[in-house]
Structure 1
């Protein structure tokens, strides 16, 4: 491809009922954002929103008739038709995809071909609630854009620098050899934050970071010298801290009790732990922190208290795994915006050198630590789509 720019890199992130998309101009210095958006509610009440790089709305459409996209392929068709009008003949050079699970073999972005798709299909049992939707997005894109290179970027890849001790479970070695180990997720977000911090402050980027990716899916990662050393998510994206609707870490004996004593099926337990627990299950209100805070009920308050306690506990654990902490970074929807919850989380972490400036925290400032605090506390917007675009462009240019 030409090294002097021209053309577009399209990024697709297929979820269970949504398809996020973003377009980046292929510039010599790297991908430059042009537009982004998503079709959500696929199969139920689809809603398309698209914005340009300045945040201005380009499209906002809800379907209420028989022409609504019923699956990811049809949703991509809607996006493609919009692109045809917007691009005015500009070529799509490559398509980058977020793929949740790369297993043990894929620790870097991958050019997708038939053999790669077969390998990714074999990983579906490791992420049955996520991987199939990612692969549907890839197949739909291949049908709409025949011949256009496609690249898989893995959420697990960033964590492959962790040690055996950090990865393994205390099970007989044969299970580790079969792939039952801690993989970690949100890797594209952590990689972006790590690179961004290093670009802002090389010394800090080479130091010890604890990054809290707090959104509907939530986890923490200990990063030392730009490399993942420990993370709260494990074999699946269910482990670790509580999330919007996911339980997070739970005693395995509870699951056995639910099945053996309560008579729940594995499907019922799966739905409970993935979709009926976390902030939503505890609060009885919502997984949205804004709605929980506004509810003002005892259950809502206890949900926030528990979430803050678990995140605070894991900050200490992540710091211990890398021998200390130079900066704590909050990112993702809750991390970037929920200043009240950030204050709850950091209360009691003074022993680590973490102290917030209340005014700066309330303003969602880029740095919210108190003057003179031993540990910097930062708020940074993550950009998984931008990270995917960069990986895709780099792989394309490398041939």
Structure 2
């Protein structure tokens, strides 16, 4: 019987985790949050522990080490066989989960500038745990992997060919989320629609959309980095590159300052000046909050329209992630302007966040909770089984 798997999803401010048994059943899920302020462990099921950690100056790597120490003290690591990690960027070479070693880590370090919010903390965490637990298998699962088999025309930018040969391509992200939703599609929208023309909207702090045909990624709104495409919590989304050139020409404006503006000071937060959280903006009566929400819906409709054109029609539209799963208002405002596709909402189903929220005509409209940690656990379990057979 396979051993347990621990899944770690290390970000800049949190380390999410899930502990799964050898049959893939979730034992425990939670996160270490406020890493750089007042770090604490919070479970996402049952009673939240009151465990608070000492200041974690080392960021996510320290948080992961503290988490493992807590799990071990609670007697939860006795059957641990492997750790699975979310690694955002796998470049052009990685289209499937892989066992981690030093050479692979060096390759992944070279991609850190393409995902500066996520790649460095994930790799720092992996290196720390490899040093601490050298005999424990560790697995990398890539957000870009789901999109690696897109047609080449959907990966290219209109730039000199030599740059594409150097790896400047559209990679797409949120692949672990899309892989999980694609797996759930048949039971929610039916087998025929599941292999048809599907658009999935992953709407959270990070946002992107993906067009699927035959359950496979055809095109994605995100491109070379996780800045592209849909407007997000604090990221700008699609932007005229001339704006970046203009900013860089401003006196005293450094590359680092422009990077911070685009990644941290833009999106819902930048437009509203209030919050990067959609819940705060929907509850606010401030006109700038309303404008940020309106822009978000407008950008969402543009991305749906573009991907629907690529697919040649739409059989199903799926909402997932924090906003997609929990904001009935955003879904309603979006679908209200998709009448040209024949989309019709069932208001009661939408208000209750039901799996199917369409009125029974036009394309299927669905709400499917994402489970990136579950995807990582399944992939880690498969590699663990394969390793045990060798």
TM over 0.5: yes
Instruction: Report SS of the residue matched to 2:62.
Output: helix
**2:272 alignment counterpart:** 283
Instruction: Report SS of the residue matched to 2:167.
Output: coil
TM-score (norm 1): 0.93
Which residue of the other structure, out of 345, 358, 376, is the alignment partner of 2:347? 358
Alignment of 1:88-167 (within 5 A): 90-167=78-155
Alignment of 1:165-244 (within 5 A): 165-200=153-188, 201-244=190-233
**2:56 alignment counterpart:** 69
Question: CA separation of 1:60/1:232 partners in 2, compared to 1, >3 Å: closer, same or farther?
Answer: farther
User: Do 1:285 and 1:295's aligned partners in 2 also have CA atoms closer than 8 Å?
Assistant: no
Q: Does 1:8 align with 2:4?
A: yes
Question: CA separation of 1:84/1:227 partners in 2, compared to 1, >3 Å: closer, same or farther?
Answer: same
**2:379 alignment counterpart:** 391
In the alignment of these two chains, the number of paired residues is 385
Give me the whole-angstrom Cα distance separating, in 2, the residues matched to 1:363 and 1:128. 37
Structure 1 residues 162-197: Cα deviation after superposition (integer angstroms, max 9, x where no partner): 111111000010000011010000000000000111
Instruction: Report SS of the residue matched to 2:170.
Output: coil
C-alpha displacement of 1:89: 6.2
Give me the whole-angstrom Cα distance separating, in 2, the residues matched to 1:238 and 1:112. 27
**1:26 alignment counterpart:** 22
Give me the whole-angstrom Cα distance separating, in 2, the residues matched to 1:214 and 1:360. 19
Structure 1 residues 71-128: Cα deviation after superposition (integer angstroms, max 9, x where no partner): 2332223211221133356321111000010000011101111221121122223223
Give me the whole-angstrom Cα distance separating, in 2, the residues matched to 1:68 and 1:273. 29
Instruction: Report SS of the residue matched to 2:291.
Output: helix
Question: CA separation of 1:110/1:89 partners in 2, compared to 1, >3 Å: closer, same or farther?
Answer: closer
**2:258 alignment counterpart:** 269
User: Do 1:104 and 1:179's aligned partners in 2 also have CA atoms closer than 8 Å?
Assistant: yes
C-alpha displacement of 1:47: 2.3
Give me the whole-angstrom Cα distance separating, in 2, the residues matched to 1:198 and 1:60. 40
Give me the whole-angstrom Cα distance separating, in 2, the residues matched to 1:109 and 1:368. 34
Q: Does 1:248 align with 2:237?
A: yes
Which residue of the other structure, out of 19, 37, 48, is the alignment partner of 1:44? 37
**1:312 alignment counterpart:** 301
Give me the whole-angstrom Cα distance separating, in 2, the residues matched to 1:225 and 1:381. 20
User: Do 2:172 and 2:224's aligned partners in 1 also have CA atoms closer than 8 Å?
Assistant: yes
C-alpha displacement of 1:199: 4.8
Q: Does 1:260 align with 2:260?
A: no
Mind listing any 5+ residue stretches in structure 1 that lack a counterpart?
none
User: Do 1:367 and 1:377's aligned partners in 2 also have CA atoms closer than 8 Å?
Assistant: yes
Q: CA RMSD in A?
A: 1.5
Mind listing any 5+ residue stretches in structure 2 that lack a counterpart?
none
Give me the whole-angstrom Cα distance separating, in 2, the residues matched to 1:186 and 1:256. 28
Give me the whole-angstrom Cα distance separating, in 1, the residues matched to 2:268 and 2:246. 22
